[in-house]
Amino acid sequence: MAELLDYKCPCCGGGIQFDSSIQKMKCPYCDTEFDMETLQSYDAQLQQDHGDDISWEHSSQEFSQEETNGLVTYSCQSCGAEIVAEATLAASRCPYCDNPIVMVGQFSGDLKPDCIIPFQLDKEKAKAQYWKHLEKKPFLPKVFKDQNHIDEIKGVYVPFWLFDSDVDASLRFKTTRVKRWEDQQFSYTETSYYSVTCDGTIAFDRIPVDGSKKMPDDLMESVEPFEAAGEKNFQTAFLAGYLADRYDVTAEETQDRANERLKQSTIDEFTKTVTGYNSVELEKCNIRQSNGRVRYALYPTWLLNTTWNDQKFTFAMNGQTGKFVGNLPCDKKAATTFTAILTVILTAIVLAGFYFFTDHAANQFSWGMYGLISLGIGFFVALLVMLIRKNQLTSVVMQRAASSYIRPHSFKLRHQQELFLYRRLNKVQKSQNQNNPPRQGGGNAPGGFNAPGGFNAPGGFNTPGGVGHRPR
């Protein structure tokens, strides 16, 4: 029995039927026409779509008894954090919530980190970066600076899971090219639609996802990137003088976040190769992974928690690179005053511009109307400037991708192909004024009704001495 093929319209998704009158396939829903060869090629592309294939191999190295000697565990009764530190370190407050912590006993059996990046920057550098972070913030409340607790900043090794992977990817894009032209009656816009497929390989090293429930993910991603050059094999000696957080999020629980960043970076790199189009829209991305590996690491971070107006603020600095982040409070009164003053200044400038650069004799608007227009422009610009300055107080954001962790020179585009799908023509009639421009010889034109030699002009038809003039 013959196989019944059912093609879907690439434009609207409806079922396509063969139209014998035009000898083409035609969609009864959107009236788009297709050649049979085009649909067969497009259907072949769809048959190649498969789900993602991503898997990871996990680390399983354990601490030895000798390595845990001299290490103790502290517990925070407020947020539940478990902190590992040397027995000689007098740790009294939680680095996450700033509440008291108590020693609960000797540190024992746990998954041993595969690697560690030792602290490269000390506490004094962290303090300096904090004060620099507060500079040039006009909407930062002054009292916030006066009531800070900068001396309580703490050095903490934060647990991270590092994801390495080789990726083979296939992507399909829907693209358009637009052509515009016009004649005396119509303006035309022709949009051609294409399906572009490409495939290739890319690799990632050390995509980090933090393994602590107490640590905000957006805060840790904001202090990235960590540089692989400073990475060393783990030794307990690196913990001397610092706190270390025990992971409470497993590698399996962080895989989805790693997969999101890996896939988004793959899409970004392949999208850069699809050029020469007016629009590019991703339709499908298939990821096939190999050599996926997960490692456990400790990364250096300086943390400061402070409270202002019953609101908690957490700041973090990358202990390797010095990148400092942390959202700051906004002085609403200062922001409102700034907006009002700038609105008055800009309104006066715009109003002066109207006064000096408009024709008062031909003025169609009252000065009251000009005042309202100036006020609207001044307020809009002042509000925009205020929002830009207010945005300077926000530095904590989630990372959408993992471009910093792409292995150098690993991206290779293996194949790219363009398939034409269909074409749409949009025709818009021009307005009457565009179709009928003023004719030469009009009322004021040369030779026109009022022009020299015209009907009413001296020597014209209706003037003294003219043909149509009757003396009284």
For the record, the structure tokens of 389 come out as 């300055």
Q: Based on the fold, state whether residues 264 and 371 are members of the same structural domain.
A: no
H/E element, 421:
strand 412-429
**Is the same domain home to 292 and 191?**
yes
pLDDT, one tens digit per residue, over 164-175 is 999 999 999 999
How many CB atoms lie under 10 A from the CB of residue 456? 14
In a domain, residue 106? The reply is: yes
Residue 163: how many CB atoms within 10 A of its CB? 27
3 domain residue, yes or no: no
Write down the pLDDT at residue 471: 47
Rounded mean pLDDT, 146-158: 78
What pLDDT does residue 82 have? 66
Out of 364, 391, 418, pick the residue that ends a domain. 391
For residue 113, whether the previous peptide bond is cis, meaning omega lies within 30 degrees of 0, is no
3-class SS of residue 40: helix
Q: Is 251 left (phi over 0), alpha (psi -120 to 50) or beta?
A: alpha
Q: What's the total number of domains in the chain?
A: 3
Are 244 and 274 in the same domain? yes
381 and 245 housed in the same domain: no
Residue 460 in any domain: the answer is no
Tokens of 284: 């499908």
Torsion of CA 228, 232, 238, 239, to 10 degrees: 60
pLDDT-derived band at 369, boundaries 50, 70, 90: confident
Co-location of 217 and 344 in the same domain: no
Q: Mark whether 380 and 418 lie in a shared domain.
A: no
- Say if residue 237 is in the same domain as residue 361: no
What was the pLDDT predicted at 30?
Answer: 73
Residue 177 belongs to a domain:
yes
For residues 307 and 374, state if they share a domain: no
pLDDT score recorded for residue 467: 43
> Mean per-residue pLDDT for 47-76?
60
Q: According to the model, what pLDDT value does residue 4 have?
A: 35
User: Is position 379 within any domain?
Assistant: yes
Contact 86, 71 (CB under 8 A): yes
| Cα 81 from chain centre | 32
Q: What are the structure tokens assigned to 439, written together? A: 């004719």
Q: Beta-carbon neighbour count of residue 257 at 10 Å? A: 20
Nearest CA to 212 among 89, 307, 96, 57? 96
CA gap 442, 439 in Å, rounded:
6
For residue 360, the enclosing domain spans 334-391
The pLDDT value recorded for residue 247 is 85
Residue that wins the pLDDT comparison between 265 and 36: 265
302-346, pLDDT tens digit by residue?
998 887 887 888 899 999 999 999 999 999 999 999 999 999 999
Number of C-alpha atoms within 13 angstroms, CB side, residue 323? 15
Query: 381 and 417 share a domain?
Result: no
Please state, in angstroms and rounded to a whole number, the distance separating the CA atoms of residues 108 and 356: 81
Is residue 90 located within the same domain as residue 129? yes
| Residue 98 and residue 80 share a domain | yes
| 38-47, 136-145, 189-198: the lowest-pLDDT one | 38-47
Regarding whether 345 and 325 lie in a shared domain, the answer is no
Strand partners, 166: 203, 290
Q: For 268-288, what is each residue's pLDDT tens digit?
A: 999 999 999 999 999 999 999
- Residue 444 burial (CB < 10 Å; 0-12/13-18/19+)? exposed
Contacts of 95 (CB under 8 A, 6+ apart): 81, 83, 154, 156, 243, 245, 303, 305
